[in-house]
Amino acid sequence: MASNGGEQTVSEYIVHHLTNLTYGKLPGGYLRYDGSVVPEGGQWTLAHGGDEIAAMGFNALHVDSMMWSVGLGILFCWLFRSVAKKASADTPSGWVNFVEMVVEFVDNTVKDTFHGRNPVIAPLALTIFVWVFLMNLMDLIPVDLIPHGLMLAGVEYQKIVPSTDPNITMGMAIGVFILMLYYSITVKGFGFVRELSLNPFNHPLFIPVNLFMEIVGLLAKPFSLGLRLFGNMYAGEMIFILIAALFSVGVLWMLPAALLQIGWAIFHILVITLQAFIFMVLTIVYLSMAHEDH
């Protein structure tokens, strides 16, 4: 494990791999890692280390997470569009058959779970499932392969698994939450207010208690949706990093580390698929609840 300044300790190696490539504005007068001072009025730049990321504050942008997530979204659109253009009445084969199986699986899940009528839900569920799966799939790439290659090109930090970034998972969850509120209001109208204020205790005296419990439950949905995906993928990535760190311990640890890496990767295939499926199903369930007009 080597860095630009020489050998890294295991803790430095782990911290390096968990640091995003971050772009933001450093405040004026801030002393940077190389001894330079940020001029008056601040400076927009790439961060070097956790201290500079913290100094940038809320407006900092995780460039790597954005680029990988958007890139994988474009890859999904291109792959499925190419299959749609090849689709015919003949018996499908190869990649076309696989994509049709995925579409049919998602469509059946929506039919079994969603109890309203909305043509947006099935395409949304398909997009979420495949997009989240592709982001999770990046976790199976060896942790040093792409970051080390980019480091040789001058890019010091690189996290290639977007779903290990809470900004990405919570951003998707908030998008689902906005759709929940939109359909709850458009489908139920004033009934949505009654649902919040008169459940579970159907009496005017309990309206404050009902509102508190229902609003807390409503806000808990996007948090649980986003943090569940982030927590599981972050833990999986951490285990890959810890196993990779074993290679630097000594020659005797290389074979056990390789076996652990292969074993965890095989098990992780189930994890990344399951997490994509859970995110999709919960999205369908939440939007189905938003369409239920009591």
Active-site amino acid positions: 224, 228, 232
Confirm if 162 and 72 have CB atoms less than 8 A apart.
Answer: yes
Q: Any idea how long the chain is?
A: 294
Q: DSSP character for 109?
A: H
Terminal alpha carbon distance of the chain: 60
Confirm if 272 and 140 have CB atoms less than 8 A apart.
Answer: yes
Element (H, E) at 111: helix 94-113
The gap from C-alpha 28 to its chain's centroid, in whole angstroms, comes to: 33
The one-letter amino acid at 167: N
**Alpha helices, DSSP H, located in the chain:** 10-17, 50-56, 63-86, 94-113, 121-137, 145-152, 166-188, 190-197, 207-246, 254-291
Of the CA atoms within 13 Å of residue 148, those in its CB half-sphere come to 10
Confirm if 259 and 247 have CB atoms less than 8 A apart.
Answer: no
Element (H, E) at 249: none
CA 246/CA 33 separation, integer angstroms? 29
Backbone angles phi, psi at 156, to 5 degrees: -75, -40
Peptide bond into 123 cis (omega under 30): no
CA 179/CA 255 separation, integer angstroms? 49
Enter the tokens of residue 182.
């939109």
Q: DSSP character for 44?
A: E
